[in-house]
């Protein structure tokens, strides 16, 4: 049974003042005061900071932002730092950088970029367009994480056939350029993580290659993985949206795919 934490608990009603055992004739009943969960518990007096140390000179996991990180490190280093609690090694930084590039593209026909473009046409301000884009990218990341689960499982224990979710679709054969890029990445993975940590000899797709790098880096878990996917893609989607002219309804392919209105009897106007 699920108990509502705000359901009236035993002893939640207290009498003020205490009700006598035998109230005198004609006395009004004592006033009752509800003592809820926020009244009964002892609560902390401050918010707990786990990553950002607040103040005039903030720190990220102990590293001074202005005096250290901004002077000697880059955005990829800082992103790794906030997610992992420590700065990356040279190999981790190089691998993370490549993964972010591989995962960056989101075409206008994909839901996050499509929604951002429509928001722009409708005249949404930048803040609202960014929020719409972030929601779309978050949902895309959630679905992608679920779709790529067999590939992550295979990378954990590489036996049997490579899952279909990791392969280039058969209707779009791997190009020579993509083959060369995959072979280059295979060599890089082996140099970064060890001779047995490369890619299988199969036409692995671009997104799956990005996930393979994240797997080798140990960037697991829904929050971390989906954050990385959203961060990698947000600039490209917002750049796509920024190129759309506000109010350009006529520039939108409203009849793609084509449609025809019909009434309840199937007659067309």
Residue 185 covered by a domain: yes
Shared domain check, 201 and 95:
yes
Q: What is the pTM of this model?
A: 0.83
| Residue 88 binned pLDDT confidence (cut-offs 50, 70, 90) | very high
Judgement on whether residues 109 and 204 belong to the same structural domain of the protein:
yes
Same domain for 151 and 232?
A: yes
Within-domain flag for 12: no
pLDDT at position 211, please? Answer: 98
Q: How many CB atoms lie within 10 A of CB 12?
A: 15
The closest alpha carbon to 242, from 105, 101, 106, 113, belongs to 113
Are both 125 and 153 inside the same structural domain? Answer: yes
Contact 129, 241 (CB under 8 A): yes
State whether 81 and 195 are in the same domain.
no
Q: Is the pLDDT of residue 20 over 90?
A: no
What pLDDT sits at residue 97? 98
68 and 112 share one domain: no
| Residue 78 sits in the same domain as residue 165 | no
- Say which residues have a Cβ less than 8 Å from residue 95's Cβ, sequence separation at least 6: 188, 189, 192, 193, 213, 216, 217
pLDDT digits (tens, 9 = 90+) for 176-233: 999 999 999 999 999 999 999 999 999 999 999 999 999 999 999 999 999 999 999 9
Average pLDDT along the chain = 90
114 inside domain = yes
pLDDT at residue 50 in the model: 95
Final residue of a structural domain among 88, 110, 140: 88
SS3 16: strand
Residue 30 has pLDDT above 70, yes or no: no
141/219 same-domain check: yes
Determine the pLDDT at residue 15. Answer: 47
Domain assignment present for residue 119? The answer is yes
Give the pLDDT confidence score for residue 62 in this predicted structure: 96
Provide the sign of the torsion angle of the four alpha carbons 156, 160, 163, 166, taken in this order: positive
Residue 63's domain comprises 52-88
pLDDT of 108 strictly over 50: yes
Q: Based on the domain organization, do 79 and 189 belong to the same domain?
A: no
Q: In this structure, are 225 and 124 located in the same domain?
A: yes
> Is 40 strand, coil or helix?
helix
Residue 5 confidence (pLDDT): 56
The pLDDT of residue 39: 85
pLDDT tops 60 at residue 10: no
Sorting pLDDT into bands at 50, 70 and 90, what band is 41? Answer: confident
| Torsion of Cα atoms, 222 then 225 then 228 then 232, to 10° | -110
82 with 98, same domain: the answer is: no
Residue 4 has pLDDT above 70, yes or no: no
Domain count, the chain: 2
Please state, in angstroms and rounded to a whole number, the distance separating the CA atoms of residues 31 and 260. Answer: 68
Q: Is the pLDDT of residue 79 over 80?
A: yes
26, part of any domain: no
Last residue in a domain, options 38, 71, 88: 88
Co-location of 120 and 224 in the same domain: yes
In a domain, residue 81? The reply is yes
Query: Do 141 and 226 contact (CB within 8 A), yes or no?
Result: yes
């Amino acid at each position: 049974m699920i108990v509502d934490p705000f359901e009236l608990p035993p002893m939640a009603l207290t009498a003020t003042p205490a009700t006598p055992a035998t109230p005198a004739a004609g006395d009004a009943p004592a006033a009752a005061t509800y003592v809820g969960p926020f009244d009964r518990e002892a609560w902390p007096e401050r918010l707990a900071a786990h990553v950002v140390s607040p103040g005039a000179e903030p720190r990220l996991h102990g590293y001074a932002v202005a005096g250290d990180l901004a002077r000697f490190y880059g955005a990829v280093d800082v992103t790794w730092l906030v997610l992992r609690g420590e700065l990356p090694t040279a190999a981790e930084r190089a691998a993370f950088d490549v993964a972010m590039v591989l995962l960056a593209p989101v075409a206008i026909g994909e839901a996050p970029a499509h929604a951002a473009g429509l928001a722009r046409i409708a005249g949404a301000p930048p803040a609202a367009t960014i929020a719409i884009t972030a929601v779309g990218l978050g949902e895309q990341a959630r679905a992608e994480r679920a779709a790529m689960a067999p590939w992550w499982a295979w990378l954990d224990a590489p036996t049997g056939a490579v899952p279909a979710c990791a392969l280039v679709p058969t209707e779009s054969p791997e190009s020579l350029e993509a083959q060369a890029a995959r072979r280059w990445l295979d060599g890089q993975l082996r140099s970064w993580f060890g001779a047995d940590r490369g890619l299988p000899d199969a036409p692995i797709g671009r997104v799956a290659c990005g996930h393979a790098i994240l797997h080798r880096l140990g960037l697991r878990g829904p929050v971390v993985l989906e954050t990385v996917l959203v961060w990698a893609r947000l600039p490209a989607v917002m750049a796509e949206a920024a190129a759309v002219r506000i109010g350009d309804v006529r520039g939108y392919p409203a009849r793609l795919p084509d449609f025809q209105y019909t009434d309840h009897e199937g007659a067309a106007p």
